[in-house]
A and B are shown apart, each in its own frame.
Chain A
């Protein structure tokens, strides 16, 4: 237990998870990022340049939920690798299928 206390003063000593203040801060960040996403969606002058911006914002929201709400930042690394293996395999499948249909079918 002492180790858990020493690792971070932002964590709950019972489980090694973040405190309520951290959870609220993450929620507010998620709301702000979503509002920015919707806001820039209506800026027509950005054209297709909006796509990488939205992808980055979406990626940030994804990372926040996974790291703080799903506790991967505080849990064992093995769990992170287990999840990321499936996640990156899924991304590979998406791009492989898009490439296959774009170039060969």
Chain B
């Protein structure tokens, strides 16, 4: 707080031309530009979503309950991040480290979910019984011609989704992969802060702005996922959307 005081609005007043920290200003400018980056990727996904010549399609591979769980983990990581920052500003360094490490663990857990999901998609299999073809998706029905009238016949066909399978696969993996890259960078950033805080004078309550910037980045990753979860996963299974 040596160079910053609270302005009437509650925010810190810095001795700069805008009265704001240049680092914070730059971080918000970066986040604004990153919105456009993800906006372009989401737009590309939506434009090409229904242009795939073959499956698997979103309704074939998405598992909403698994993705909901990973979304919950990422939302909770945002809460632990603000609690880490709050502990730091109150001078509670142990609390800061505990909450920061919790954030890292939840971020890594989210990445684990993403690796699991990608692995499931790549190794996706179509299971069907020739006597129960009515519940199959459009893509799964393309395998139904293997049924030769034997009632109890069961088929298991490998039908994996990779970035090269179709346009859905390409745009989906690029979008969620870039988000995963952002999360990975965030986890590395927060972990480095955790270890730096163990050094004497590394991170102190007076240097809370360094943590504030990392927290802003982490929350941004969270809000991007809020949009991806709704637009890509929940809207994704509606035909014609």
- Residues of A in contact with B (beta carbons under 8 Å apart): 1, 3-4, 7-8, 11-12, 14-17, 19-20, 23-24, 26-27, 30-31, 34, 37-38, 41, 48, 50-51, 54-55, 57-58, 61-62, 65-66, 68-70, 74-76, 78-79, 82-87, 89-91, 93-94, 97-98, 101
Contacts and interface: CB of A to CB of B under 8 A. Distances in A.
Given A31-B72, A82-B29, A93-B43, A3 B8 contact: yes
B239 to A, nearest CB: 10
Contacts of B19: 76
The 3 closest A-B pairs by CB, nearest first: A86-B32, A90-B39, A16-B10
Contacts of A37: 229-230, 234
B150 interface: no
Contacts of B204: none
Interface residues of B, number: 61
A23 B10 contact: no
B6 A58 contact: no
Contacts of A27: 75-76, 78-79
B104 to A, nearest CB: 17
Contacts of B223: 61-62, 65-66
Contacts of B34: 86
Interface of B is mostly: helix
A16 B11 contact: yes
A81 to B, nearest CB: 9
B226 interface: yes
A38 B64 CA distance: 8
A65 B81 CA distance: 12
A41 B229 CA distance: 12
Given A86-B32, A87-B35, A51 B79 contact: no
B226 A61 contact: yes
